[in-house]
């Protein structure tokens, strides 16, 4: 198949990251005859918006459930590349495990099966830093890489399902296609992704508004992590796309996973929220409202209560031990392997990334204040 006739399918196309990837492909990557969008619910106007900047590339939409095998086959038919970003993100335990597993694991399995049966040559899976950890002991990692040994025992259902889907994706590398070719897969593990449209930042901003424009501190200052800007994560997917389409680099990238970070300075989760919200007048607590050991014990009691009430009532604690451990563990990783193998180099520096994020938050702040005021 000549490059001019290539077809790319992106799942999770209406999502925070998925749409950024599609727009970047349309702007920067040559040779795609068609880009197909797959999402459970198509955002109104998305296809029309993308078509306006698509030049000669066709943009089409497949709307449905990632667990719909027949729809997946139709979406993959004739495609040469699949970028799989669709997933349920749940860090607080509010989603039933069967739903989480069905979308994140079973959906990935069905998509890989469709790729193999429909002769899709390349598959990129968007994983998560939470596949790496941190573990329940809170063992730190500073500037780790893909070879860093780490005793990981995941407890979050979300983390487990992402890990299982990642393993499915890597095991599928080299699978024989019906046309005699071989499937090449790779996995990208972004750090915490921020930027315009990040719902977690909206959540923290909302809590800050309720608290008199003071952000709650849940992480210690020294618990450094390295968040990554959404535009750079999209660029990493473009780099992986180009590597898998290149016969030489395909051999190096296929079957591997890559951490995706950028040059955002290491910072704690709480201080990061303050860094992007402080220009809008938000302050932050100097220290957590309770000492960390007491918060940890309180989380344990809430989890016990959740277990006791489960047969009678659905209760989701606002805090759990793994979430508390995650935001209080130094956990940073390098992007050098992705740079070496795929040619990934972050395009957006910290100051520009922060300004873009803060400008977006400023644009939605009046609406958030009004929403909170009326509820």
In a domain, 320, yes or no: no
Residue 97 annotated as catalytic: no
**CATH number assigned to the domain comprising residue 54:** 3.40.50.720
pLDDT at 42 over 90: no
Predicted pLDDT at 338: 98
Residues 197-202, mean pLDDT to the nearest whole number = 95
Q: Name the active-site residue from 97, 125, 158, 224.
A: 158
In a domain, 53, yes or no: yes
User: Could you report the per-residue pLDDT of 302-315, keeping only the tens digit for each?
Assistant: 888 878 887 788 77
What Rg, from alpha-carbon coordinates, does the chain have? 21
This prediction's pTM: 0.94
User: Could you report the per-residue pLDDT of 86-130, keeping only the tens digit for each?
Assistant: 999 988 778 889 999 999 999 999 999 999 999 999 999 999 999
3-class SS at 90?
coil
- Which of 144-153, 238-247, 305-314 is the most confident on average? 238-247
Residues 242-265, mean pLDDT to the nearest whole number = 96
In a domain, 358, yes or no: no
In a domain, 85, yes or no: yes
Predicted pLDDT at 3: 45
| Number of independent structural domains in the chain | 1
pLDDT classification of 5: cutoffs 50, 70, 90: low
User: Could you report the per-residue pLDDT of 170-193, keeping only the tens digit for each?
Assistant: 999 999 999 999 999 999 999 999
In a domain, 100, yes or no: yes
In a domain, 209, yes or no: no
In a domain, 313, yes or no: no
> Following CA atoms 20, 25, 28, 33 in sequence, which dihedral angle do they give, to the nearest 10 degrees?
-150
Residue 118 sits in which domain range?
3-199+228-271+333-351
* Sign of the alpha-carbon torsion through 273, 158, 82, 186: positive
d(CA 37, CA 47): 8
In a domain, 277, yes or no: no
């Amino acid at each position: 198949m000549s490059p001019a006739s290539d077809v790319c399918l992106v799942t999770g196309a209406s999502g925070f990251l998925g749409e950024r990837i599609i727009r970047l492909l349309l702007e920067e990557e040559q040779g795609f005859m068609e880009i197909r969008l797959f999402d459970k619910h198509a955002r109104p106007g998305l296809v029309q918006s993308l078509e306006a900047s698509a030049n000669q590339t066709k943009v089409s939409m497949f709307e449905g459930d990632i667990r719909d095998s027949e729809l997946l086959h139709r979406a993959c038919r004739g495609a040469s590349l699949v970028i799989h970003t669709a997933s349920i993100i749940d860090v607080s335990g509010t989603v039933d495990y069967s739903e989480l597993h069905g979308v994140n694991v079973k959906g990935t399995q069905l998509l890989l099966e469709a790729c193999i049966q429909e002769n899709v040559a390349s598959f990129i899976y968007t994983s998560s830093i939470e596949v790496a950890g941190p573990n329940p002991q809170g063992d730190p990692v500073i500037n780790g890489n893909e070879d860093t040994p780490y005793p990981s025992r995941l407890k979050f259902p979300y983390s487990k399902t992402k890990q299982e889907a990642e393993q499915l994706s890597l095991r599928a590398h080299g699978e024989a296609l019906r046309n005699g070719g071989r499937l090449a897969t790779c996995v990208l593990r972004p750090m915490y992704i921020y930027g315009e449209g990040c719902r977690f930042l909206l959540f923290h901003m909302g809590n800050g508004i309720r608290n008199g424009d003071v952000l709650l501190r849940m992480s210690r200052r020294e618990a450094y992590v390295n968040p990554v800007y959404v535009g750079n994560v999209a660029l990493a997917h473009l780099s992986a796309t180009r590597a898998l389409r290149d016969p030489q680099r395909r051999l190096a990238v296929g079957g591997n996973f890559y951490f995706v970070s950028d040059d955002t300075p290491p910072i704690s989760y709480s201080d990061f929220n303050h860094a992007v919200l402080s220009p809008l007048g938000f302050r932050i607590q100097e220290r957590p409202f309770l000492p960390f050991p007491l918060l940890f014990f309180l989380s344990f009691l809430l989890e016990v209560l959740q277990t006791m009430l489960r047969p009678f009532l659905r209760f989701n604690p606002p805090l759990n031990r793994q979430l508390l451990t995650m935001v209080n563990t130094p956990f940073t990783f390098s992007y050098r392997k992705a740079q070496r193998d795929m040619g990934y180099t972050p395009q957006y520096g910290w100051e520009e990334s922060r300004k873009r994020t803060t400008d977006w938050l400023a644009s939605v702040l009046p609406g958030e204040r009004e929403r909170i005021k009326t509820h």
